[in-house]
């Protein structure tokens, strides 16, 4: 049996045994929950530490939530148009599913990520999200009934902070918006913190002055000049290569027919640029590359960090979409209740249906139109 699959099976079996022994405290179904009141005092105590600071955090969260809302609408609207125009022809993703394989796979309606990546990703996304929800709720004097974890069968699926529904509904519109915005703000803040740390650690993870040549397309300028996969590129036109976690800084774009020199650990190669397959006005070398990682371990760390950043941002943005019962939908509901006391249900349901339809079409549109 594959070692990776075996480790997943061991984890699932061990988890099943633990849950079975603690079964009196679980609510079982396809989605099983374990509630507790153990962490309520921690939320209360944290909320009471410098309330002015937490209030500033709450208001900042509202501003960030508005930015995420606008970003989400623009991004998904743009994706919708690309699907309509058949510019997007392949899978766009969907529900994240942990896989017993070490491979990543994106399909129609699903994203498979390696099981152990999922196990490490989940708490870094869920815990800050739910904790800040709870802290801001207590700041706004909304009771927290319990906290807990969610399992899909015997696989961790998330966590929750359960607010008192009546107290939340009776809170002011601004209080409800602050509480609903907090989770996405926590994920957005995590995104920024991880991005800063990753860039600071970049020299430890990879060589910031080199790139690794992955592939050289045959019968291109690079291939004809003698460049081959496995070479290490140090510079272009005597300008050193610069890389960071966020980007690889390449030389200014040139036109077909112009020359460019490529400095590698195997010598300097002079290329006469060809025409780019997708834009004939742009010079084309015919190479693909990646950062020069210090080791396979640092490469895996970078892959993990990139997925973590992707999920932190997308959870923050997706959660702010006006789709009930997402946090963005709760904000929409609170505003609609305040402005349209009798017609808020029609507005919330209509907008939610439109947004849900938009997302479904983005996911399955490419295969339907094909």
Pair 260, 348 in one domain? no
Task: Say how many domains are in the chain.
Answer: 2
pLDDT tens digits in sequence order for the chain, 370 residues long: 688 899 999 998 999 899 889 989 998 877 889 999 988 999 999 999 999 999 999 999 999 999 999 999 999 999 999 999 988 888 888 888 898 888 888 888 899 999 999 999 999 999 999 999 999 999 999 999 999 999 887 788 888 999 999 999 999 999 999 999 999 999 999 999 999 999 999 999 999 999 999 999 998 989 999 999 999 999 998 899 999 998 888 777 888 888 999 999 999 999 888 888 888 888 889 899 999 999 999 999 999 999 899 999 999 999 999 999 899 999 999 999 999 888 899 999 999 999 999 999 999 988 888 7
Same domain, 35 and 147: yes
290 within a domain of the structure (yes/no): no
Mean per-residue pLDDT of the chain: 91
- What's residue 152's pLDDT? 84
Same domain flag for 247 and 180: no
Do 36 and 137 reside in the same domain of the chain?
A: yes
With H, G, I as helix, E, B as strand and everything else as coil, classify residue 289.
strand
The answer as to whether 156 is a domain residue is yes
Statement to judge: residues 128 and 222 lie in one domain: no
Query: In terms of domains, do 158 and 280 share one?
Result: no
Per-residue confidence (pLDDT) for residue 103, from 0 to 100 = 86
Both 223 and 351 in a single domain? no
Its domain, for residue 165, covers 3-201+300-369
CATH number at residue 276: 2.30.42.10
pLDDT in tens, 38-82: 889 999 999 999 999 999 999 999 999 999 999 999 999 999 999
Is 122 a domain residue? yes
Q: Is residue 295 part of a domain?
A: no
Among 230, 253, 285, identify where a domain stops: 285
User: Does 281 lie in the same domain as 305?
Assistant: no
317 within a domain of the structure (yes/no): yes
Same domain, 117 and 45: yes
Residue 294 lies in a domain: no
The reply to whether 277 and 312 lie within a common domain is no
The continuous run of DSSP H or E covering 326 comes out as none
Judge if 93 and 25 occupy the same domain.
Answer: yes
- Tell whether 235 and 133 lie within a shared domain: no
Q: Is residue 113 part of a domain?
A: yes
172 located within any domain: yes
307-313: list long-range contacts, CB under 8 Å, 24+ apart.
307/113, 307/117, 307/121, 308/121, 308/124, 308/125, 308/194, 309/191, 309/194, 309/195, 309/198, 311/96, 311/121, 311/125, 312/124, 312/125, 312/187, 312/188, 312/190, 312/191, 312/194, 313/187, 313/188, 313/191
């Amino acid at each position: 049996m594959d070692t990776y699959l075996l480790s997943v099976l061991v984890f699932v079996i061990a988890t099943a045994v633990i849950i079975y022994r603690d079964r009196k405290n679980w609510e079982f179904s396809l989605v099983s929950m374990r509630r507790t009141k153990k962490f309520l005092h921690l939320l209360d105590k944290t909320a009471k530490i410098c309330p002015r600071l937490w209030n500033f955090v709450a208001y900042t969260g509202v501003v960030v939530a508005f930015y995420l809302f606008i970003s989400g609408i623009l991004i998904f609207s743009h994706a919708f148009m690309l699907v309509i125009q058949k510019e997007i022809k392949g899978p766009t993703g969907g529900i994240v599913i942990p896989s017993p394989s070490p491979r990543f796979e994106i399909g129609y309606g699903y994203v498979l990520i390696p099981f152990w990546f999922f196990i490490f990703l989940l708490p870094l996304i869920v815990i800050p999200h739910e904790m800040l929800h709870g802290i801001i709720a207590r700041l706004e004097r909304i009771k927290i009934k319990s906290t807990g974890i969610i399992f899909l069968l015997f696989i961790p699926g998330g966590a929750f902070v359960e607010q008192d529904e009546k107290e939340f509904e009776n809170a002011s519109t601004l209080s409800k918006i602050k509480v609903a915005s907090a989770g996405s703000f926590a994920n957005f803040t995590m995104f920024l913190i991880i991005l800063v740390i990753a860039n600071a650690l970049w020299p430890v993870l990879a060589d910031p002055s080199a790139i690794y040549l992955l592939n050289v397309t045959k019968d291109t300028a690079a291939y004809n000049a003698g460049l081959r996969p496995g070479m290490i590129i140090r510079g272009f036109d005597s300008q050193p290569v610069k890389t960071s976690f966020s980007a690889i800084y390449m030389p200014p774009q040139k036109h077909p027919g112009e020359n460019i020199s490529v400095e590698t650990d195997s010598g300097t190669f002079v290329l006469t640029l060809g025409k780019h397959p997708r834009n004939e006005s742009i010079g084309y070398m015919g190479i693909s590359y990646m950062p020069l990682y210090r080791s396979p371990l640092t490469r895996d760390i970078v892959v993990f960090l990139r997925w973590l950043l992707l999920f932190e941002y997308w959870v923050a943005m997706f959660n702010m979409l006006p789709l009930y019962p997402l946090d963005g939908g709760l904000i929409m509901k609170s505003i609609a209740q305040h402005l349209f006391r009798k017609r808020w249900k029609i507005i919330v349901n209509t907008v939610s249906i439109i947004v849900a339809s938009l997302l479904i079409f983005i996911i399955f549109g490419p295969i339907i139109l094909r």
